[in-house]
Amino acid sequence: MDFGTLLSASIILFTGLAFGKLMTLFRLPNVTGYLLGGLIIGPSVLGILSVDSVETLGIISQVALAFIAFTIGLSFKRAYFKRVGWAPIVIAVFEATTAVLLVQISLLIAGFELPLAILLGAIAAATAPAVTIMVIEQYKAKGPVTDMLLSVVAVDDAIGIILFGFAATITQTLVNPNASTNVVLSLLNPFIDIIFALIIGIIVGLLMKYVLKIFTTRNSRLTALFAGVFLCTGLSITFGVSDLLANMTFGLVLTNISLEAQVMDEMTEYITPPIYMMFFVLSGAGLQLSIIPTVGLLGITYIVLRVVGKMLGAYLGARVMKTPVSVRKYLGPMLIPQAGVAIGLTTVAQQLLPTYAAEITAVVLVGTLIYEFIGPVITKISLHKAGETNAK
């Protein structure tokens, strides 16, 4: 059914409110209700929201992810890095790499072709921070596991892009060995993209420090907040680099050079709940139930082994860095969610392996459907068992 944009937005918000409230009766995270409500009103079930309506409101998802990334960055003060050191980076490398290798090896053992195994396995590295942030905020989670989780999901984006860049170059060489491709340049591309994203975030963060000195009223700073996040996101999209990484860097720089960063953090908490709610309801509406039967052995292998790889890698990385026992036990299960970055990498994978485009898309989308529904519940349970939330 086709509604106007504002009417569709209203339906989305009321759906989020209703299903979020419903989840509290079952002691489940609100985000699970948002996803479920979106799925029910979306094209796959009731069709109250059409495919066109979901696509028209896609800008909401982009804005929500930008603010989520910015918020993560704001939490990374110098004192925090002095406390945790290299642990988040090492753990992120272990969990991402283990997931990739486990999926790739399993697909090869199952008899799938090498280029498909390499490329699909590389997508397994990506982890979605949005679900994690929502659960942490709902249950006011605090402690070593929560701190490490925020850091790992932040670093994971960059590592996922690097690993996929390597896989893409290898796949390109396997599929078309005679192509005159500069392999060295191709391998450097992921690093160049990451550096460019960091530069954008740093520049916007430095700029915002002076903007906040000039504009001192609450209203003007709220406007500056939107302008900064939109500028960072817009520049990233223009230059084809990760807007998530750029906005995280923006937040990280600002929180370490400006005393006004705390005010910006408070403003973000105040204005973003409806944006986040719309984002997750739209995410649920975009899930397609009809593709579930199409994934077969390829999908089952990817979905199961990615989870095993994330959990095993996080445990090994945490053990190597001698983190608290609670981090070793409970961090891995909270790295299950996967969405935006993985779907973006899927688009590139389709171009590199057009023969397998349909299979890759189906597997990643079904994986997203499953991960997004079980992820919030597992995150809540893990945080509770770690003793970092009052949830019962």
Which residue intervals of 75-113 are DSSP H helices? 78-84, 87-109
Q: Which amino acid is at 167?
A: A
Average pLDDT for 346-365? 77
Query: What is the reported pLDDT for 185?
Result: 63
The pLDDT-based confidence of 17 (bands split at 50, 70, 90) is very high
Q: Report yes or no: 362 and 295 within 8 Å, Cβ to Cβ.
A: yes
CATH ID of 5-385, from 2.130.10.10, 1.20.1530.20, 1.10.486.10, 1.10.3720.10: 1.20.1530.20
Query: What is the reported pLDDT for 106?
Result: 93
Q: In which region does residue 77 sit, left (phi positive, over 0), alpha (psi from -120 to 50) or beta (all else)? A: beta
Query: What is the reported pLDDT for 3?
Result: 66
Least confident span in 97-111, 197-211, 373-387: 373-387
Give dist(CA 231, CA 112) in Å, integer. Answer: 43
User: Which uninterrupted H or E stretch holds 118?
Assistant: helix 114-123
Give dist(CA 319, CA 325) in Å, integer. Answer: 8
User: 82-95: per-residue pLDDT in tens?
Assistant: 777 788 889 999 99
Query: What is the reported pLDDT for 272?
Result: 84
Average pLDDT for 208-237? 91
Query: What is the reported pLDDT for 2?
Result: 59
User: 253-307: per-residue pLDDT in tens?
Assistant: 998 988 888 888 788 888 888 888 888 888 788 777 777 777 788 889 998 999 9
Query: Taking the domains of the chain in order of start, what are their residue ranges?
Result: 5-385
Q: Report yes or no: 231 and 204 within 8 Å, Cβ to Cβ.
A: yes
